[in-house]
Structure 1
Amino acid sequence: MDKQTAQQVLSHPKFKQMAQQKALIGWSFSAVVFVMYVAYIWLIGTAPEMFGKPVSEGSITTWGIYAGIFVIVFSFITTGIYVSIANGKFEEMTKEVVREVQGEE
């Protein structure tokens, strides 16, 4: 793709709309994960006894282990959802704009 075609794609209204949607979703997912981590750290700092309680009588596994695993898995799932959307819907929208610009509709 030459510079002129790239510039046409970047200035295309559909591409601009897609870029705004992608940014909104990306920042939203980032905010959700950030809030999750902040809440986790805040609870550790303010109520450490909550995470130190054993899951069951005589168990060495505490609720903190499960909470930490949940935060990590939640982050992976959130990232996976974003990647799926970005590589699916948004990639297809970008290809559509490129086809329109190149006159291949």
Structure 2
Amino acid sequence: MGDTDRAARIAADPRYGALLQRRGRFTLGLTAVMLVAYFGFILLVAFDKALLARPIRSGGVTSLGIVLGFALILLAIALTGIYVRRANRDFDAAVAALVRDHRA
């Protein structure tokens, strides 16, 4: 039996289908969070430039837009970290179990 046969057996395993569904729901949720945050920021840029131009302190030079843009970058990094942690903890372990069970 070759790698193609083993891959076909793994793909036919109901645990693999469940894993794909769990991972898909999780990634869809993370994607939705990022898209809402990003498009919210873009809509502010398009429709409320005055709000984004306000300094965060009176007399300061750093605007709210800079802070929100930086927060958007940090959100992307945080969501990536959340995905990596979950993938390493749950998804990779489930794939390893499937491969081990179909090793023969």
TM-score of the pair, normalised by structure 2 = 0.91
> C-alpha distance in 2, partners of 1:57/1:16?
56
> C-alpha distance in 2, partners of 1:2/1:45?
52
Identity of aligned residues (%): 26
Whether 2:90 is the aligned partner of 1:89: answer yes
Any unmatched runs of 5+ in structure 2? Answer: none
- 2:102 counterpart residue number: 101
- 1:75 counterpart residue number: 76
Deviations along 1:48-105, whole A, 9 cap, x unmatched?
11111111122111111100000110011011111221222100001111111225xx
Any unmatched runs of 5+ in structure 1? Answer: none
Shift of 1:47: 1.0
> C-alpha distance in 2, partners of 1:19/1:57?
51
TM-score of the pair, normalised by structure 1 = 0.91
- 1:12 counterpart residue number: 13
Runs of 4+ off more than 4 Å = none
The alignment of Structure 1 onto Structure 2 pairs a total of residues equal to: 103
Q: Which has the higher contact order (CA 8 A, sep 6+)?
A: 1
Report the aligned-residue RMSD. Answer: 1.3
